[in-house]
């Protein structure tokens, strides 16, 4: 709904400016989707963390380090939990000294409800980590789409929050309403905190209760080396670990607060986290337009895009991945947050991975490319379904079978995926499996230690009618 006295479309000068932006990034979009004018992606940065990159420079080729193959002490590590919330996203980043939650999922239909799944996962986490006192140091909402905002009220009702981060977009629709509720809850909570502090002061008490911090991130606020402050980066070192995680925002709302009509995916809050020599890039629902803008903004600081662990943008859709972009990220491990192929409602519209054709075969191919794709290997190859096209009304989606041997994971294939990142750069991956009661450790090998080609094997297309 537009504000009183305003159009749902940007004003004419704004439309012209946005058109100029699109024209200015057209060449970058072509490079991102095609790998450059000669079919070859740009050279990838070699630093595995921003500090390493500054020390090492870019003169070396893509690194293919040997990853952890045995059980490693995880007491001093960053654990990135990609929680299975169906077609949606919810990522818990656990540190020895705190935790943050990025998005709240997820899918809701007659076959699956993501909210109890998410709440149960978080309750089990806090039962194990009682030292955290059911407290999230930050709740980050990347953008107001329902597959990222659905369980905001449940998270606020069940857990303590120290800081809230979003992109400031206000959408009065199914996806935006939970975020608006969050803003209202935050205002009321901080009003109550202020009243309690005032009452204490009148009694002569010097005790003060801290309000919840809040930040709307616009890309205009993000410099060429990202944005970091006490709200974005609320986790420090402590007695449990001397490592101080470095959390920074790389992207936010591109357009002005009052401008409407553009895709909220392109305004997603993007986070980069460095934990010692390990790093993770959480790309939310970026699409090629914002990826091109980001690539242009960080062209002199490409190390900020270079990460060991990559959450694949926009659930692995066809418009979320390009050769140049992946060559900038150079991930060892990549994870797609999306629902399972098997969940099929056979109705229209159907908000499932099956209907959307996620993950798309072109994006998967880019992620598995021998030259610049995911460099680590799965311990055991896995046969999965990847989308050739999404459904549209009476036209069904199409999928084909692939064998994945690289360290490309997906919640729709593997259930909950937890990547343990150690300060020395070693990684481990743990998956629950879909429907499995117990988790299975899948320590990774380097691409050098396994198949050098590591290409995904193709099988004939499978029509949706032939699937369960």
Cα 447 to the center of its chain, rounded Å: 24
Distances (CA, A) of 338 to 80, 272, 289, 386: 16, 21, 21, 12
DSSP conformational letter for 231: T
Residue 223 in tokens: 């410099």
Phi/psi of residue 287, each to 5°?
-115, 180
The Cα 118–Cα 321 span in angstroms is 27
How is 419-455 classified by DSSP, letter by letter? EEE-TTS-EEEEE--TT-SS-EE---EEGGGS-SS-P
The CATH code of domain 12-466 reads 3.60.15.10
Compute the distance between CA of residue 424 and CA of residue 244 in angstroms, rounded to an integer.
Answer: 13
- Relative to beta strand 333-336, strand 78-82 is unpaired
Displacement of CA 431 from its chain's centroid (Å):
17
Q: Which long-range contacts (CB under 8 A, 24 or more apart) does 259-264 make?
A: 259/10, 259/14, 260/2, 260/6, 260/7, 260/8, 260/9, 260/10, 261/8, 261/9, 261/10, 262/10, 262/18, 263/287, 263/289, 264/143, 264/144, 264/145, 264/167, 264/169, 264/171, 264/175
**What's the pLDDT at 393?**
86
H or E stretch covering 122: helix 114-128
Report pLDDT digits (tens) over 317-347. Answer: 998 888 999 999 999 999 999 999 999 988 8
- When computed from its CA atoms, the radius of gyration of the chain, rounded to whole angstroms, is 22
The residues that bridge with 416 in the sheet, in sequence order, are none
45: nearest Cα among 408, 425, 321, 304: 304
464 torsion bin: left (phi>0), alpha (psi -120 to 50), beta (else): alpha
DSSP string, 39-90: S-PPPPP--SSHHHHHHH-S-S----PPPP-S----SSSEEEEE---SSS--
Secondary structure element (H or E) that encloses residue 311, with its range = strand 309-311
96 contacts 243 by C-beta, under 8 angstroms: yes
Q: CB–CB of 22/289 below 8 Å?
A: yes
| Cα distance between residue 159 and residue 1, in whole Å | 31
**273: its two tokens:** 């986290």
Q: Where are the domains of the chain?
A: 12-466
For 403, counting Cβ atoms within 10 Å of its Cβ (0-12 exposed, 13-18 middle, 19+ buried), the class is middle
Low-confidence ranges of the chain (pLDDT < 70): 1-74, 254-262, 435-468
- Length of the chain, please? 468
């Amino acid at each position: 709904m537009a504000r009183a006295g305003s159009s749902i479309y940007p004003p004419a000068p704004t439309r012209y400016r946005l058109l100029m932006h699109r024209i200015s990034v057209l060449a970058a979009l072509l490079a991102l989707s095609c790998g450059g004018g000669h079919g070859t992606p740009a050279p990838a940065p070699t630093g595995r963390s921003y500090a390493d990159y500054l020390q090492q420079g870019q003169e070396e080729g893509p690194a293919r380090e040997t990853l952890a193959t045995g059980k490693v002490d995880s007491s001093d590590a960053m654990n990135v939990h990609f929680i299975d919330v169906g077609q949606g996203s919810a990522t818990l980043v656990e540190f020895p000294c705190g935790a943050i939650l990025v998005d709240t999922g997820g899918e809701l239909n007659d076959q699956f409800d993501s909210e109890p799944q998410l709440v149960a996962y978080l309750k089990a986490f806090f039962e194990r980590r009682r030292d955290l006192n059911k407290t999230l140091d930050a709740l980050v909402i990347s953008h107001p789409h329902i597959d990222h905002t659905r369980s905001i009220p449940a998270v606020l009702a069940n857990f303590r929050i120290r800081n809230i981060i979003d992109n400031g977009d206000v959408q009065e629709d199914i996806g935006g309403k939970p975020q608006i509720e969050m803003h209202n809850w935050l205002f009321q909570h901080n009003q109550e905190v202020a009243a309690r502090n005032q009452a204490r002061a009148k009694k002569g008490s010097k005790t003060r209760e801290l309000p919840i911090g809040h930040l709307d991130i616009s890309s205009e606020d993000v410099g060429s080396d990202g944005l970091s402050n006490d709200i974005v980066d609320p986790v420090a070192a402590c007695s449990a670990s001397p490592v101080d995680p470095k959390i920074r925002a790389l992207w936010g709302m591109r357009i002005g607060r009052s401008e409407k009509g553009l895709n909220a995916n392109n305004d997603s809050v993007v986070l980069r986290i460095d934990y010692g020599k390990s790093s993770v890039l959480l790309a939310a629902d970026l699409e090629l337009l914002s990826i091109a803008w980001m690539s242009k903004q960080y062209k002199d600081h490409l190390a900020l895009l270079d990460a060991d662990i990559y959450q694949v943008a926009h659930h692995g859709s066809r418009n979320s991945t390009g050769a140049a972009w992946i060559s900038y990220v150079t991930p060892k491990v990549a994870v797609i947050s999306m629902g399972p192929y098997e969940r099929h409602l056979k109705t229209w519209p159907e908000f499932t991975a099956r209907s959307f054709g996620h993950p798309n075969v072109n994006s998967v191919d880019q992620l598995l490319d021998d030259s610049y794709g995911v460099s680590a290997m799965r311990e055991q190859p896995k046969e999965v379904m990847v989308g050739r096209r999404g459904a549209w009304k009476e036209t069904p989606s199409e999928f084909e079978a692939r064998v994945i041997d690289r360290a490309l994971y997906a919640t729709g294939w593997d259930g909950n995926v937890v990547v343990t990142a150690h300060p020395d750069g070693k990684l481990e991956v743990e998956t629950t499996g879909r429907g499995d009661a117990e988790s299975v450790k899948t320590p990774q090998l380097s691409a050098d230690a396994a198949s050098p080609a590591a290409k995904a094997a193709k099988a004939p297309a499978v029509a949706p009618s032939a699937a369960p």
